[in-house]
Amino acid sequence: MAVTGAARFVPATRDLGELAEAVHACKGCDLYVDATQAVFGAGPGTAPMVMVGEQPGDREDTAGQPFVGPAGRLLQRALDAAGIDRAEVYVTNAVKHFTFTRGRRLIHKTPSRSDVVACRPWLIAELDSVRPEVVVLLGATAAKSLLGPDFRLTAHRGEVLRLPAGDATVGLGVDPLVVVTVHPSAVLRGRPGDRAEAFDALVADLEVAAGLMGS
Ligand code: URA
Ligand code: SF4
């Protein structure tokens, strides 16, 4: 099957409910074949902040909701520590279907660049609908989706950025401030002795993002 990306499946509407409904029919890349369901973003349609993760995990694939597993719990703790109310945040992913390697368990696999690019029209439609003041990109996959494949997370985490004009942001009618930080799963995967520091660094980046709201 020719893989042409999500654009032809994304309706022209910016109604979040209609977008969330339409994503279930997406065949913009091959990931829909093995996943249980598409996992669209969740949260208020007028949230001042949008957070973008990588893709649903095993738990999200089953639940149909983003960030409901271990990474979601860590993210919630980090939001609490940064003084960010989850009710102010619309949470979504760069890729809407779970990618995995079949083993004894379903093992998470980083989505390919082509899957990330294929799925980007959904993310752009969500951003264009919610129209946030601030976008937080959690991890390299989300960062590279919107900031380009050469973006270096380690060099630019916690900085206040803007989305570049170009292919990645076609159709986007807003110009939010952007902060990139690590993915909560990276904190969970870190060596036990490093986790507290990694968590604090995530919180510090989220505090930068929190400080931009209403500015
Ligand atoms: N990791 C992500 O990037 N997104 C989720 O929704 C869950 C885990
Ligand atoms: Fe469509 Fe994205 Fe799912 Fe691929 S991952 S089928 S582009 S919704």
Q: pLDDT tens digits for 168-215?
A: 998 899 999 999 999 999 999 999 999 999 999 999 999 999 999 986
Task: Please tell me the number of the ligand nearest to residue 93's CA.
Answer: 1
Ligand 1 mean position, distance from CA 67 (Å): 5
Question: Sign (positive/negative) of CA torsion 51, 57, 62, 67?
Answer: negative
CB of 60 shorter than 6 A to ligand 1:
yes
Domain residues for the domain of 182 are 9-209
Q: Is residue 3 part of a domain?
A: no
Ligand 2 mean position, distance from CA 66 (Å): 15
**Element housing 143 (H / E):** helix 140-147
Q: Is residue 114 part of a domain?
A: yes
Residue 191: count of CB within 10 angstroms of its CB: 7
**Element housing 162 (H / E):** strand 161-162
CA distance linking residue 187 with residue 103, whole number of Å: 24
CA distance linking residue 11 with residue 6, whole number of Å: 10
pLDDT at 103: 66
Q: pLDDT tens digits for 114-149?
A: 999 999 999 999 999 999 999 999 999 999 999 999
The residue whose two tokens read 């969970």 is 188
Buried b (16+ CB within 10 A) or exposed e, 85-103: ebebbbbbbbbbbbbbeee
Ligand 2 mean position, distance from CA 96 (Å): 6
CB of 41 shorter than 6 A to ligand 1:
no
What are the residues facing 34 on neighbouring strands? none
User: How many domains are there within the chain?
Assistant: 1
Q: Is residue 194 part of a domain?
A: yes
Residue 193: count of CB within 10 angstroms of its CB: 7
- Largest separation between any pair of C-alpha atoms in the chain: 49
Q: Is 51 helix (H, G, I), strand (E, B) or coil?
A: strand
Q: pLDDT tens digits for 68-109?
A: 999 999 999 999 999 999 999 999 999 999 987 776 666 777
Q: Is residue 47 part of a domain?
A: yes
What are the residues facing 179 on neighbouring strands? 136
Ligand 2 mean position, distance from CA 1 (Å): 14
pLDDT at 163: 96
Question: What phi-psi label fits residue 94: left (phi over 0), alpha (psi between -120 and 50 degrees) or beta?
Answer: alpha
Q: Is residue 78 part of a domain?
A: yes
> What DSSP character marks residue 42?
B
CB of 57 shorter than 6 A to ligand 1:
yes
pLDDT higher than threshold 70 for residue 2: no
pLDDT at 3: 53
> What DSSP character marks residue 37?
-
- C-alpha 99: how far from chain center: 14
CA distance linking residue 61 with residue 56, whole number of Å: 6
CATH number at residue 116: 3.40.470.10
